[in-house]
Amino acid sequence: MKSLPEFEFAALVGIDWSDTKHDICLQAANSEEREFTVLLHRPAAIDAWASALRQRFGGQPVAVCLELAKGPLVYALQKYDFLVLFPVHPATLAKYREAFVPSHAKADPTDAQLALELLLRYRAKLKALAPQSVAMRMLLRLVEQRRRLVGDQSRISNRLTDALKQYFPDVLTWFADKDTILFCDFLTRWTTLKQLKRARRATLLSFFHDHHVRSQARIDERLKAIKSATPLTDDLAVILPNQLLVLALVEQLRVTLQAIERFDAQIATVSEDLPDYALFRALPGAGVTLAPRLLAAFGEQRERYQSAVEVQRYTGIAPVTESSGKKHWVHWRLQCPTFLRQTFVEWAARHHSPLLLGRCLLSTATCKGLFAPRGGARPGFQMDSYSLSLLADSNALR
């Protein structure tokens, strides 16, 4: 991004945000005076403040520095075309504060002033927030929220498995997949082995047929196992609490599975309308789940990446080199967008080929000492530069 002229903006603003209020430090162009104010986190208050700025400076651009690139305050300020947002990492502001305040004293108005100083002194190193298209931003949030729901699905499924092991472990062997509507409906209807043994054969057959289980051999195997099953315990003090917990977890799991299906449908609708979706859908190992995530990871603003190395560094799949005196070591990258790194790591795990996986940094021995994760058990992935460079410049494949 090109550096901005010294006084392109009519005013510069530093904001220290919070959930309930925002401390603001403002300095007009060609002025040394700084104005401090507190803005309540309410839509009406934010709109009144922004409208007053527009009227005061005649709609001229106003630069705003704040410690986040997304969130309620960012979404509220993006409505105003004259506001140019410069997000900075919270660690950047914290280190800047510690450099001049070694006592670690901290106050919200002071942090707002420090954000303003970063904007004044280092504006050329900061990048203005340039929103992508509505469809791309929607896709990014859809895939992020879907991945969180998948995490909830795994968490609920693990808790459900643990509860069933306490009094009804046989049902876990009858169903290979626990995160299905079939499993949820089965447990909702028969939460204990005692209830299940009372069910007639015709009832069980009808249940499996209604849930599209067509393999007669699989059905017969389950019916035989049910008939010969023995209760783990008859202690009501164990059975009843876990039975109630299973019913609660089953309802949570069912709702989560249905929500994931709705997200999948919306993601498919949005991603198919984006021009580069076919490119990412054709990648080996991408599939219908990872292709939209990869598309959202690269986005539409490919010019922000000058090389594949920059993609690796930003997403956290490239290790960090540190040298000091006689010491030299390479370690896991700590600061990066976690979801983006997770996307590339999961993509690499889907397709173990030299082109996509590149060097897999598994241990100190295999990497000849170039990578030493803490504890020696956290692998890192470095994606192949050639494949990433092609994705960063989709015109190379057209």
Output DSSP code: residue 84: E
CB 174 within 8 A of CB 227: no
In the prediction, which pLDDT does 287 show?
A: 86
Q: What share of the chain in percent tops pLDDT 70?
A: 86
pTM: 0.78
Strands 11-16 and 62-66: parallel
Which tens digits make up the pLDDT trace of 91-115?
Answer: 889 898 988 888 888 899 999 999 9
pLDDT bin (cut points 50, 70, 90) of residue 309 is confident
Q: Tokens 């198919």 belong to which residue?
A: 272
Tell me what pLDDT residue 352 has.
59
* pLDDT value of position 21: 94
- Given a cut of 50, whether residue 219 has pLDDT beyond it is yes
Of the ranges 49-53, 184-188, 351-355, which one carries the lowest mean pLDDT score? 351-355
What's residue 41's pLDDT? 94
Give residue 12's pLDDT band: very low, low, confident or very high (50, 70, 90).
Answer: very high
Query: Which among 255, 2, 8 has a CA at the least distance from the CA of 149?
Result: 255
Taken in order of first residue, the domains within the chain and their CATH numbers are 11-131 (3.30.420.40), 136-270 (1.10.287.4070), 278-397 (no CATH)
Across residues 150-170, what is the average pLDDT?
96
Q: Tell me the residue type at 208.
A: F
Question: Which residue is associated with the tokens 């295999």?
Answer: 366
**Angle ∠(392,395,398) on CA atoms, nearest 5:** 130
The pLDDT of residue 315 is above 60: yes
Decide if 371 contacts 380 (C-beta within 8 A).
Answer: yes
Average pLDDT score over the chain: 86
